[in-house]
A and B are shown apart, each in its own frame.
Chain A
Amino acid sequence: MKTINRSTGMTLTEVMLAMALLASAFIPIIGVMGTSIKATDKDDRTIKAVNLCQEKLNRALQFPFTSISVGTYGGATAKTLKSNAAAGSINLILGPETIDGVQFTSQLDVSDVPVTFQVPTYDPFAKGEQPNTPANWGWTNQNINFTNVYHKYVLTVTWQDKGSKANKFYTLASHKAKIRR
């Protein structure tokens, strides 16, 4: 009853081989997990940059048109723009800042976009004479040029990924017109 049947069960060689096989199968899985962690960290930084870029551009667009003149603000040098609007003061902080241990640098470029408006103008007297015939309202197309009524706002946030020295960037652009609010 106490004799052990040596032919049943597994040999040490079998167990060793099975473990080696399993270990080799785990290598690519660990590799994928590592890549996934890196990708998550990258995405996390990108999302932070996108949010930061949105927040700063939204704030810049809240400033009255004349409060931010054409120029470049922020970048390597920190800069705080202040506006004393009727609704209250707004601050916009640009330049380097650290969020959750990652350094982001924001820069705002404001430039003037010259505009040529194509305006179909009518003759009020012709319209008064034939109000139901628009074709006879004496239409003429006028091209009218303007400068300093339409500004382009470009906000760029730069950062670096973990273990990389290459700068990554995210840019948002919008326009603001000199309109009566």
Chain B
Amino acid sequence: MKNTDNRRGMALILALVFAVVLLQMAIAYSSMTRASKPQTIQIDERIKLDYLAHGLTELALLKFQLYPADFYACWEAAKKGQPQYLRSFTINAPEFTINNFSDSNSSFNAVPINIQLASMAILTNDKWKTEALFIQAGAAYTDQYGRNIAKEAVRLVSLERKLNK
């Protein structure tokens, strides 16, 4: 008789335990969904940064096409231990720093983006006697969680030196 009395109410206890487990699952799933949202945002935002950085490499290439002789002189000076002229032509030139670019504000938060030229250099291949212009630009912003989100774009253009007669 004692045993049967103990078994009374077992269904309730089992249901209670099962309900608690189900609730815990729901809570865990909900928090997982919440955690995945910022990652989706980051992926979308990196696309924006990529396009902006590429846009700045266009400007750097235009400057090089307009003033190749001055760039080569700056490059030569840098090779001879005077890098300030090259820096003045490239990374320190005001046109290569765009702060608070707001036209492509994040769709998710209104944080402006900063774009900056990272480097402009001549790459040479002695074996093939070829030259290339290497341009690197970056775009970055600080997201709503305080993280620095950055993306770099690289452009490589083959060069051919010709003497204007």
Contacts and interface: CB of A to CB of B under 8 A. Distances in A.
Report the contact-size class of chain A (Cβ under 8 Å from the partner): 35 or more
Residue of B44, B81, B107 with most partner-chain A CB within 10 A? B107
A151 B61 CA distance: 14
A120 B63 CA distance: 12
Interface stretch (B47-55, B122-130, B144-152): B47-55
B11 to A, nearest CB: 5
Contacts of A168: 107
Interface in B8-45: 8-12, 14-16, 18-20, 22-23, 25-26, 29-30, 33, 40, 44
A149 B62 CA distance: 8
A176 B73 contact: no
Interface residues of B, number: 58
Given A21-B12, A176-B55, A135 B70 contact: no
Interface in B72-128: 73-74, 76-77, 80-82, 85, 88-89, 93-95, 101, 103-105, 107
Given A134-B77, A174-B51, A117 B58 contact: no
Contacts of A141: 88
User: Binding site of A, secondary structure by majority: helix, strand, loop or mixed?
Assistant: mixed
A115 B76 CA distance: 26
Interface string A10-47: 11001101110110111011011001100100010010
Contact of A119 (B9, B81, B89, B105): B89
B159 interface: no
A28 B29 CA distance: 11
A50 interface: yes
Contact of B104 (A10, A154, A179, A180): A154
Nearest to A43: B40
B103 A177 contact: no
A59 interface: no
B163 interface: no
Contact of B18 (A17, A22, A176): A22
Interface in A136-181: 137, 139, 141, 149-150, 152, 154, 168-180
A36 B10 CA distance: 34
Nearest to B54: A174
A152 to B, nearest CB: 7
Interface string A41-68: 0010010001000100100000000000
15 contacts: A14-B9, A21-B19, A26-B22, A28-B23, A29-B22, A117-B95, A118-B89, A120-B88, A132-B80, A149-B62, A154-B104, A170-B44, A173-B51, A178-B62, A179-B58
Interface of A: 5, 7-8, 10-11, 14-15, 17-19, 21-22, 24-26, 28-29, 31-32, 35-36, 39, 43, 46, 50, 54, 57, 115-122, 127, 132, 134-135, 137, 139, 141, 149-150, 152, 154, 168-180
Interface of B: 1, 4-5, 7-12, 14-16, 18-20, 22-23, 25-26, 29-30, 33, 40, 44, 47-48, 51-52, 54-56, 58-59, 61-63, 65-67, 70, 73-74, 76-77, 80-82, 85, 88-89, 93-95, 101, 103-105, 107
